[in-house]
Amino acid sequence: MSTAPLFLVDELPAGAQAVLDGPEGRHAATVKRIRAGERVLLADGRGGLADAVVDAAERDTVTLTISRRRTLAPPAPRVLLAQALVKGDRGELAVEMATEAGVDTILPWRAARCVARWDDGPRGAKALAKWRGTVREAAKQARRPWLPEVEEPVSTAALARRVAAVACALVLHESATTRLADVRLPTDGEVLLAVGPEGGVSDAELAELSAAGAVAVRLGPEVLRASTAAAVALGALGVLTRRWNPEG
């Protein structure tokens, strides 16, 4: 039996009956072709989850009966991803894969060697909106009750301040001699993971982040793309911590 599709709502319905409308209702009825009797999940993006059964589906609305509600705790430790801006659709691929791999917060990073540039005007706002939309759809695809937040872009100086405030900060770097598997990771708090652009993290940036408390690490002998490194590292963090085994 396949997992029930998940739809995001602002608030979980309080009663036994509910109506899914708007863009999510249209997507459920028209794109997913949900029909009466099928099971669905409703999530508020903040850990709240409701199991429901479809009573009827119309053109852009779905009526539901709620069978169960629950609130799931967030993964621990939390992972903040500082993802350097990547040109083209590879930036969206990076945040899509990171979301499916369980990231909790994404910080778009204006690293020195970024080819992509997000200005503070309409073009930058459009690019940020694309990342946020990509994350929302990826969270639904992955059936995630927690919707990752995509914050405003940060400079390296601002990122260094975040590094100093977290329990653990890691910078993926091809010249690192420390393996991620050898780092002592916290059981709670926040782990910040920094992934550089296509041209890599500059020496000056690495020095600044290291001075703030970050540790340069590598995953293995291969050099990964800027668009895929975060997802691979998140998978490793899922195994090396209790994020993928909250009962453990």
Condensed to tens digits (0 to 9), the pLDDT of residues 139-169 reads: 999 999 999 999 999 999 999 999 999 999 9
Q: What confidence tens digit (pLDDT) does each residue in 91-102 have?
A: 999 999 999 999
- CA–CA gap between residue 248 and residue 242 (Å, rounded): 6
Q: For the chain, what is the mean pLDDT?
A: 93
Q: Which domains does the chain have, with CATH numbers?
A: 6-71 (2.40.240.20), 78-240 (3.40.1280.10)
Chain segment 66-91, per-residue pLDDT in tens: 999 999 999 999 999 999 999 889 99
Do 91 and 63 contact (CB within 8 A), yes or no?
A: no
Burial of 34 (0-12, 13-18, 19+ CB in 10 A): buried
> How is the chain split among helix, strand and coil, in percent rounded to 5?
30, 25, 45
Confidence of residue 206 (pLDDT cuts 50, 70, 90): very high
* Residue entry with tokens 């659709």: 89
pTM, whole model, 2 decimals? Answer: 0.91
Close Cβ partners of 104 (under 8 Å, ≥ 6 residues apart): 74, 75, 78, 79, 80, 146, 148, 149
Q: In whole angstroms, what separates CA 187 from the centre of its chain?
A: 19
